[in-house]
Amino acid sequence: MRSLIIGGVLLVAGLVAVATGLYPATDALALADRVWPVLLFVVAITVVAELAAEAGLFDVVATWSTRAARGSAWMLWLVTVGVATVSTIFLSLDTTAVLLTPIVVTMARRVRLDPLPFALTTVMLANCASLLLPVSNLTNLLAAQKLDGMGPGAFIALSWAPAIVAVLLPSTAIAVIGRRTLAARYVVPPAHSLQDRRLTAWAVVVVAALLPALVSGIPVWIPACAAAIVLIAVFAVLRPGALRPGLVPWSTIVFASGLFLAMGALDSLGSRTVLAVLSPSGTSPVDLLRVAGVGVVGANAVNNLPAYLALEPVAAHPLQLMALLIGVNAGPLITPWASLATVLWHSRLRRSGIEVPWGRYMLIGLVVAPVTVVVATLALTAVH
C-alpha cells in the first residue's frame, strides 16, 4: 500500500508537470513508448509467477529442496542460494522477493530451522543476482534499450564477471552470519501431496518453456505474455476461482510509472547537468568505481529505479552503464526503501510472522553492499 501511495503521488506530480508544460508532452510520449514493454513484462511475469505458485510449483520446489539436502542445513541453504539465483535471473528480483520468501520461511519452519539465514538469502540475492540478464531487473531492461536493444548474449558478455561476484560475496556473508543455524541437521519431511497434479504439470511445462524463451533474443514481453495467457486459460478451465484482479501487481505498476514520469520531468528540468558534474566521463577502474559509487548512494538515498533513471543519461559508455547497474542493483542493501524488492520482502516476512529489525538489516548491508559493489566493479574492469 505504501508503494502504491508513493507511486500515485509521483504519477500525479509528473502529470502536473506535463499539463503545465514543464515536461514537454512529446518527451513524455517518447518515454511512454520506451517503458511500456518493460511494464508489460512485469505484469505478465508476475501473473505467471503467481499462478505457478497457486498451481503448487513452488511448494514442489520447497519439498524437493528439503529432501534433496538429506537433512543437512548447509545443503538446504545451498539449494536455496541456487533457486534464488535462478529465480532472480530468469523471473526478476521482485518475483524472488514476493514468492520465494514465504516458501523458504515455510521450508525452514517445516524442518525446525531458524528461517533468518534463508530469508536474508532471498533479499540479498533478489537484488545482487539481478545483473546477468536484461529480464533480471527493470534497470537492466532499460539499459538494454539504451544500448540499442542489446540482446541477452551481448548483455551476458558484459555482465557475467560482476554477476558472479555479486552472487558469491553476499552468499559468503550470509554463510558467516548464519553459520550456527546452517551447521545443524534436520529430519527429512515426508513427500508433499499435490492438490491438483494437472495444474502443477501445466505450470512445470509453461515455466520450462518460458525460461529459454526469455534468453532467445525475442522481446521478453512476448514470451512472458504468451506464458501468462496459457496459464490463465488453464486456470479458467481447471480452477477459475484463482483468477482475480490481485494477480496483477497494481502497486508495482503505479510505483514504477510514477517514478518513470517523475524522473523524466526532473531530467527535463536540468538534473542531467547536475549529475554530469558528479559522474566521471572515463572508463578507468577509478572512473567506473565512481559511477558505481554514485549509483549506490542514489539507490539508498531514494530508490534504485529513480537513481538509475537519473544517472542513465550521463553513462554514455557500455562499461559506465554496467558500472551504474552494479551500483543500483547490488548496492541497494542498506536502507529499507532502496529497492521495491526489499520492501516487498519485508512485507512478506511480516505476513509470515517474522520481524527483522531494520537496524540489524542496515548494519549487515553497510558491510555487504560496499564490498560487493567494489569487487564486482573491479571484476568488470578486469575482463574488459
% of the chain with per-residue pLDDT over 90: 40
* Model pLDDT, residue 275: 55
* Model pLDDT, residue 311: 86
- Mean pLDDT score of the chain, rounded to an integer? 86
Domain residue ranges of the chain, discontinuous segments joined by +: 2-383
State which amino acid sits at residue 323. Answer: A
Per the CB < 8 A criterion, the answer to whether 76 and 69 are in contact is: yes
Per the CB < 8 A criterion, the answer to whether 332 and 338 are in contact is: yes
**Measured between alpha carbons, how far is 70 from 121 in angstroms, rounded to an integer?**
20
* 297: phi then psi, degrees, rounded to nearest 5: -60, -45
State which amino acid sits at residue 306. Answer: P
* Model pLDDT, residue 101: 86
**Measured between alpha carbons, how far is 266 from 95 in angstroms, rounded to an integer?**
29
Q: Residues 330-338: what's their mean pLDDT?
A: 91
According to the 3-state scheme, what is the secondary structure of the chain? CHHHHHHHHHHHHHHHHHHCCCCCHHHHHHHHHHHHHHHHHHHHHHHHHHHHHHCCHHHHHHHHHHHHCCCEHHHHHHHHHHHHHHHHHHHCHHHHHHHHHHHHHHHHHHCCCCCHHHHHHHHHHHHHCCCCCHHHCHHHHHHHHHCCCCCHHHHHHHHHHHHHHHHHHHHHHHHHHCHHHHCCECCCCCCCCCCCHHHHHHHHHHHHHHHHHHCCCCCCHHHHHHHHHHHHHHHHHHCHHHCCHHHCCHHHHHHHHHHHHHHHHHHHHHHHHHHHHHCCCCCCHHHHHHHHHHHHHHHHHCCHHHHHHHHHHHCCCHHHHHHHHHHHHHCCCCCCCCCHHHHHHHHHHHHCCCCCCHHHHHHHHHHHHHHHHHHHHHHHHHHC
Residue 274 has pLDDT above 60, yes or no: no
Q: Residues 107-136: what's their mean pLDDT?
A: 92
**Measured between alpha carbons, how far is 263 from 269 in angstroms, rounded to an integer?**
10
The CA R_g of the chain, rounded to the nearest whole Å, is 20
% of the chain with per-residue pLDDT over 70: 94
> Bridge partners of 185?
72
120 burial class (0-12, 13-18, 19+ CB within 10 angstroms)?
buried
* Model pLDDT, residue 263: 72
**Measured between alpha carbons, how far is 41 from 19 in angstroms, rounded to an integer?**
28
Residue 147 has pLDDT above 90, yes or no: no
Alpha carbon 206 to its chain's center = 21
What pTM was computed for the model? 0.81
**Measured between alpha carbons, how far is 103 from 63 in angstroms, rounded to an integer?**
10
**Measured between alpha carbons, how far is 73 from 112 in angstroms, rounded to an integer?**
10
Residue 195 has pLDDT above 80, yes or no: no
